[in-house]
Structure 1
């Protein structure tokens, strides 16, 4: 894989071709690969505090996530997606660490697919509540306290 370049931007600052590539990656992973017919475009990308974070390799996005603020003031990380060919290379960990930097000083919440609970725990997230189904996939809500340090250096 080519060297990674990590980028971030609000929706209004994304060039149309980049926005298309990020949304296409999310659809490829969540809707096509995981066979979940659901409204991928949920309106949260339009929120004024939403920041898209992505990694490019060879000029193409290979992983993406979004950083949001929930109404209760907590940070939220969502739509974490990595292209099949980039998995296992630490790309998602690199993006997650950047997202946590952007949310520094805030409690952070995310809804993890159940098979990734252990991976998110390495970044200081703790499961709360019961497992639930979202689009037929088991999930767990996870929280990382404000001011948490740590997480794996290499992802």
Structure 2
């Protein structure tokens, strides 16, 4: 499956794009993972948003990017999500490659720190991320900090 990728700052998102990304995040992070948490956390305005669309115009994959010193001392990638409808196509790998490349393009080559759900540790390691510190619980889900030097 081929996606069309776009990366935009918050101010450049259309209302339809904003609605689609918030809907996808809610579908996965709140409903699917049965986790009541404040997804709309006041950080979207400081982020760049990576959106991957199908040929039919459906949002299939999404992440948000931050420059250094916003979430962590390093640049960061968060809210990495693939729509349940499109998970069997390996889009998570495409999304992470797009996100890493966008960080370099937007903010320059630099380390990237993430807060990863523990069950995805090996996935992130395959992209050069390394465990950083102890694990922690975030909204009842085991996480670890990871860094890509």
**Normalised by the size of structure 1, how large is the TM-score?**
0.87
User: Cα deviations across residues 48-98 of structure 1 (Å, max 9, x unaligned)?
Assistant: xx2100111110101100011241651100001111121131212112111
Alignment of 1:50-129 (within 5 A): 50-57=47-54, 58-71=56-69, 73-104=73-104, 105-129=109-133
For 1:73 and 1:39, the matched residues in 2 are separated by 23
For 1:101 and 1:42, the matched residues in 2 are separated by 25
For 2:103 and 2:117, the matched residues in 1 are separated by 21
Asked if residue 6 in structure 1 is aligned to residue 5 in structure 2, the reply is yes
Segment of structure 1 superposing worse, 63-72 or 111-120? 63-72
SS of corresponding position for 1:106: coil
Aligned residues: 142
Decide whether the 8 Å contact of 2:7 with 2:102 is kept in 1: no
SS of corresponding position for 2:89: coil
SS of corresponding position for 2:93: helix
Runs of 4+ with deviation above 2 angstroms: none
SS of corresponding position for 1:85: helix
Query: For 2:144, which of 125, 133, 140 is the aligned residue?
Result: 140
| Two-structure CA RMSD over aligned residues (Å) | 1.3
Q: Give the number of the structure whose residues are more often helix, by fraction.
A: 2
For 1:59 and 1:84, the matched residues in 2 are separated by 16
